[in-house]
Amino acid sequence: MANGNYINQYITDTLENNYMPYAMSVIVSRAIPEIDGFKPAHRKLLYTMYKMGLLNGNRTKSTNVVGQTMKLNPHGDATIYETMVRLTRGNEALLHPFIDSKGNFGKVYSCAMAYAASRYTEVKLDSICSEVFKDIDKDNVDFVDNYDGTLKEPLLFPTTFPNILVTPNKGIAVGMASTICSFNLKEVCEATINYIKDANIDLKKFLKAPDFSTGGEIIYNESEIDKIYETGRGSFKVRAKYRYDKKNSVIEIFEIPYTTNIEAIIDKIIELVKGNKVKEINDVRNETDLNGLKIAIDIKKSADPEKIMSKLFKLTPLTDTFSCNFNILVKGSPRTIGIKSILDEWIDFRMDCVKRQTAFDLKKKSEKLHLLKGLEKILLDIDLAIKIIRETEEDSLVIPNLCDGFKIDLLQAEYVAEIKLRNLNKEYIIKQIKAIEELEEDIAKLEEVLRHESKVLKIIVEDLKRVSKKFGRDRKTDIVYEHEIKAISEDDFIEDYAINLFLTKENYLKKITSVSLQASMRVAAENKVKENDEIVESIVTTNRAEILLFSDKCNVYKIRCYDIPECKTSNIGEYLNNLLPMDSDEKIIKIVLSNEYKGYMLFGFENGKIAKINMASYYTKTMRKKLVNAYSDKAKLVGMLYIEKDDDIVLIRDLDKAMLINTSLIAEKQTKSSGGITIFNLKKNSFMTKMLLKEDFKAEDIEYYRASKINGTGHFISEKDKSENGFGGQLKFV
Sequence ranges of the domains in the chain: 38-158, 241-317, 344-471, 494-593, 595-734
- Measured between alpha carbons, how far is 355 from 367 in angstroms, rounded to an integer? 18
Task: Give phi and psi for 149, each to the nearest 5.
Answer: 75, 15
- Which residue in 614, 622, 611 sits closest to 598, CA to CA? 614
* 86/502 Cα distance (integer angstroms): 57
Measure Cα distances from 641 to 147, 295, 601, 734 in Å: 80, 52, 6, 9
pLDDT of residue 645: 93
DSSP 8-state class, residue 27: I
pLDDT in tens, 393-422: 888 888 898 888 888 889 988 888 888 777
pLDDT digits (tens, 9 = 90+) for 195-232: 999 999 999 999 999 999 999 999 999 999 999 999 99
Among positive and negative, which fits the CA dihedral 388, 394, 395, 398? Answer: negative
What CATH number does the domain located at 241-317 have? 3.30.1360.40
Q: What is the pLDDT of residue 334?
A: 92
Buried b / exposed e across 275-306, counting CB within 10 Å, b at 16+? Answer: eebbebbeebebebeeeebbbbbebeeebebe
Q: Element (H or E) spanning 535, and its range?
A: strand 535-542
Contact 722, 687 (CB under 8 A): no
> Among residues 19, 22, 120, 481, which one is catalytic?
120
DSSP class per residue in 635-682: S-EEEEEEESS--EEEEEETTTEEEEEEGGGSPEESSTT---EE-B--
Is 597 one of the annotated active-site residues of the chain?
no
Q: What are the beta bridge partners of residue 550?
A: 556, 590
Contacts of 513 (CB under 8 A, 6+ apart): 497, 498, 499, 500, 566
SS3 9: coil
> From CA 630, how far away is CA 671, in angstroms rounded?
9
Kindly report the CATH class assigned to 595-734: mainly beta
Task: Please report which helix (H) or strand (E) contains residue 434, including its range.
Answer: helix 426-451
- CA distances 617 to 548, 623, 629, Å, are 12, 14, 11
DSSP H stretches of helix in 472-568: 514-519, 523-526
Domains 38-158 and 241-317 share a fold: no
The answer to whether 604 touches 637, Cβ cutoff 8 Å, is yes
Q: How many helices (H) and strands (E) does the chain have?
A: 21, 36
| Continuous segment of H or E residues that includes residue 343 | helix 339-380
Sheet holding 281-286, edge to edge: 241-245, 250-255, 295-299, 281-286
Per-residue confidence (pLDDT) for residue 159, from 0 to 100: 97
Which residue ranges in the chain fall short of pLDDT 50? Answer: 1-2, 521-525, 729-734
710 closest CA partner among 679, 668, 675? 679
Position 95 scores a pLDDT of: 96
User: Which three-class secondary structure string do you get for 71-96?
Assistant: CCCCCCHHHHHHHHHHHECCCCCCCC
pLDDT score, position 23:
73
Distances (CA, A) of 174 to 12, 23, 26, 158, 326: 17, 5, 7, 28, 16
Q: Are strands 217-220 and 498-504 parallel, antiparallel or unpaired?
A: unpaired
Cα(292)–Cα(397) distance, integer angstroms: 75
Distance CA 225, CA 246 (A): 36
Specify the CATH class of 344-471 in words: mainly alpha
**Residue 17 per-residue DSSP state:** I
Q: How many angstroms separate the CA atoms of 495 and 251, rounded?
A: 20
**Amino acid at position 382, single letter:** I
- pLDDT at position 174: 80
Residues with Cβ < 8 Å from 321, sequence gap 6 or more?
Answer: 235, 236, 237, 238, 259
pLDDT score for 650: 93
Q: What is the pTM of this model?
A: 0.76
Distance CA 172, CA 174 (A): 7
Task: Look at the domain 38-158 and name its fold.
Answer: Topoisomerase II; domain 5 (3.90.199)
Q: Are strands 668-669 and 609-614 parallel, antiparallel or unpaired?
A: parallel
